[in-house]
Amino acid sequence: MIDTVIFFVSAVIAVGSAVMMISQRNPVLSVLYFIVSLLAQAVLYVQLGALFLGAVLIIVYSGAILVLFLFVIMLLNLRGTEDLGPTGPAVSRASKYLVSVLLLVELVFVIKASFFSAVPVGIVDVAPSEFGSVESVAELLFSNYLYPFELTSILLLAAIVGAVVMAGRLRDTHQEEGETETPTTDVQIKEEV
């Protein structure tokens, strides 16, 4: 019973704050709503036995990634007051909602068709004690999923290099027209920052 209550409360919070996230003008508020949504999702994770991943979601996602978002927003000095110009025609907006809802309906049908009929649903009410624990996840990652796990390290390295190269491009694009582009030195980067 208490589980059900927790589920409903978390689900409503997760969906509600997600809706709030996409409907904000101010990106800072948007990020905060997204964090709320993530916390609610973490509760769902834990309910499903994914203790470790729930913790990771809170620590890494809301703790690191979304802070990075906030950092960027502050870096760009966005206040949500920027004029983004006129919105598109109402028909076009409505059709976009329509398409998304259609997609939802279809996905429900897919789940219904595959999950409820084909897959044997062996729900164990109480998960085994080791299910979702740090040890069991680690055991999987370092045995069956060793290669993908190691490959992610390469992916992360590539991401780091890419981010550094793109964000710190050694070129000043705000120069006046007609001026030749000079290779920017460290000093100029500092000025920019």
Partner 1 sequence: MLSIPAYIIVALVLFCIGTIGVLITRNIIILFMSIELMLNAANLVLIAFSRALNLMDGHAFVFLVLTVAAAEAAVGLAMVITLYRNRETINIDRFNILKW
Partner 2 sequence: MSEYLFLVPLLPFIGFLINGLLLGRLPRPVVSFIACASVGLSFVIALLLFFDLKAMPADMRLIEQTLFTWIPAGSFHANIAYMLDPLSAVMILVVSGVGFVIHIYSVGYMHHDPCFGRYFTYMNLFTFAMLTLVLADNFLLMFVGWEGVGLCSYLLIGFWYEKKSAADAGKKAFIVNRIGDFGFLIGMFIIFWQIGSLDFQTVMAEAPHVFIAGGGLITAVCLLLFMGATGKSAQIPLFVWLPDAMEGPTPVSALIHAATMVTAGVYMIVRTNVLYMMAPDAMLVVAIIGVATAFFAATIGLAQNDIKRVLAYSTVSQLGYMFLACGVGAFTAGIFHLMTHAFFKALLFLGAGSVIHGMSNEQDMRYMGGLKKYMPITFWTMLIATLAISGIPGFSGFFSKDEILWKSFSSQFGHPVFWVLGVITAGLTAFYMFRLINMTFFGKGRMDDKTRKHLHEAPRSMTVPLIVLAVLSVVGGYVGLPHVFFGATNYFEHWMAPVLSGGQAASHALASGGGDTGTELGLMAASVLLVLIAIYFAYLLYNKSPERATSLREKLSGMHKMIVNKYYVDEIYGATIVRPLVYFSLFLWKVVDVVVIDGFINGLAGAYSDVSGYLRTSQTGRVRSYATVFVVGVVIVTAYFLFG
Which residues inside 112-171 make contact with partner 2, applying CB under 8 A?
113
Q: Alpha-carbon distance 17 to 44, whole Å? A: 15
Which of these ranges, 52-60, 66-74, 96-104, 181-189, lies near partner 2 under the rule CB under 8 A?
96-104
Q: Alpha-carbon distance 156 to 160, whole Å? A: 6
Sign (positive or negative) of CA dihedral 131, 135, 141, 143: negative
Residues 58-97, mask of contacts with partner 1 (x by CB under 8 A): --xx--xx--xx--xx-xx-x---x-xx-x-----x--xx
Q: Which is nearer to partner 2, 84 or 187 (CB)?
A: 84
Q: Identify whether the C-beta of residue 45 lies closer than 8 Å to the C-beta of residue 10.
A: no
Examine residue 9 and tell whether it contacts partner 1 (CB under 8 A): no
3-state secondary structure of 132: coil
Shortest Cβ 180–partner 1 spacing (Å): 18
Examine residue 34 and tell whether it contacts partner 1 (CB under 8 A): yes
Q: Alpha-carbon distance 182 to 121, whole Å? A: 65
Q: Alpha-carbon distance 156 to 176, whole Å? A: 37
Considering only 2, 90, 118, 123, the residue that binds partner 1 (CB under 8 A) is 123
Examine residue 160 and tell whether it contacts partner 1 (CB under 8 A): yes
